[in-house]
Amino acid sequence: MRTIIEELTIKNSNNIRGNIYLPELVGETRISWKSSKPDIISDTVIGEMAAGVVKRTSQDVEVLLTATFSEDGERSSFEQKVCVKKLEKTITEDDYEGYLFGHFIGESKEDQEQIYFALSEDGLNFKDMNDGKAILTSSVGEKGVRDPYLYRSPEGDRFFLVATDLSIYNRGGWFVNEQGYYDPSTTGSHNLIIWESEDLINWGEPTVAHVAPPNAGMAWAPEMIYDDESGEYIIFFASSIMDPATKYKSKPNTIYYVATRDFVHFSDTKIFIDNQCEPDGKPREIIDATVIKIGDMYYSAAKDGDNAEANGGIRIFKNKNLLDAEGWVKVLDLDELGLKCEGLKIDVLDNSTLEGPELFQYNKKDWDNPDVPEYGLMADQYSVGGGYLPLKTTNLEDVDNSTAAWKLLSKDEYSFDKLKKRHGTIMRITKEEMERIKKAF
């Protein structure tokens, strides 16, 4: 068990680049905080934001933080100096010039369930990095990682990669258990694997984050987004809840989340997007959620329905309130758009053929109209081992494609190079970052 002082000690105290976690309670001990410069690091609640909100300026700033508490009837205090690093530059829309694609490539060999990078200047044509070898390799948990997600901090100069802790290779394959489930989905890891970097080249050691709810079957396909209201990162993922006695699901796959500021301390696990229900009230499976904020609206794409469930698909949702689990409402399913599958290995765009959707915005320089933003939606053609299928849209709410906002790209409009891109992530990068990645990998 960590001591009170260990719980109070701030991670990377000499390199503060975002909001920090200042606990109000450690066990049953109540903590009060005092900041020597509350305009740089707050020591009180501000709106929905707990103490520890950081404001970065044009120069490094040292701040003395003092925690006061009572232990064994005696008043104690703990002081630590931290350094809030200067903010070098605020990234604007015009700064983005490329795209970094993180992904895994398969599960038949030991090195395939690791993190690979590909690079693109237009978001359509990607080149494999590092001579086709893995960039990051997990040495913890199941020693395999899948479904990675890359995220840039709101300050712009930190990067996080979160991934599923799963190795089908090390498990010996996708075995079906007595209950008829794929065993990795019911006896899977409750953890996620997280890396952090300041330059996309040098990454710290992988850390293990226990996130799944009690009796979960797994924690799969994590992604994250920053919550402007609380000043925290929201990490969301799919879990099923198992009945320990029967080993059947007592709740089908649902999207859950935890909140964190420091990737050490995590909130209790809560539901992020609940199951959609059939007319008879039977809950449906939902996995592989991705979220993007456009204006003041949050949009999600997820796989609705298990592989064989009828009427399921890659579903677009929307919600005004990020953390209102009941606020997500259906916008459309991809198979409702009437897009033709001519020339594809699949003949329908639904849950029987697609999974792992990924939403992202194209860089302004790549828009057909400089005044009309364009968004990408890629989905993994898992049923035929076909890798990613890309779509473009200028309006996620064109529910019947009556304005031709949606377009399914033809094979001559994109290329993914030699490595198969399995359930990955696309993050926009600047010219400087792109050149740095090219040089390193």
CATH H-level, domain 93-440: superfamily: Glycosyl hydrolase domain; family 43 (2.115.10.20)
Domain spanning 4-84 has what CATH number?
A: 2.60.40
Q: pLDDT tens digits, residue range 197-245? A: 999 999 999 999 999 999 999 999 999 999 999 999 999 999 999 999 9
pLDDT at 279: 65
* Interval 390-437: pLDDT, tens: 999 999 999 999 999 999 999 899 999 999 998 999 999 999 999 999
What pTM was estimated for this model as a whole?
Answer: 0.96
Q: Which residues of 355-377 are buried (b: 16+ CB within 10 A; e: fewer)?
A: bbbbbbbbbbebeeeeeebbbbb
Which tens digit of pLDDT belongs to each residue from 329-383? 999 999 999 999 988 889 999 999 999 999 999 999 999 999 999 999 999 999 9
Q: What is the mean pLDDT of residues 13-23?
A: 97
Sheet of strand 388-393, all strands in order from the earlier edge strand to the far edge: 355-361, 375-380, 388-393, 406-408
> How far, in Å, CA of 175 to CA of 54, rounded?
48
SS3 annotation, 231-269 = CEEEEEEEEEEECCCCCCEEEEEEEEEEEECCCCCECCC
Q: Domain residue spans in the chain?
A: 4-84, 93-440
Examine domains 4-84 and 93-440 and report if their fold is the same: no
- Please state the three-class secondary structure of 315-358 as a single string: EEEEECCCCCCCCCEEEEEHHHCCCCCCCCCCCCCCCCCCEEEE
Is the pLDDT at 8 greater than 80, yes or no? yes
- pLDDT tens column, 143-160: 999 999 999 999 999 999
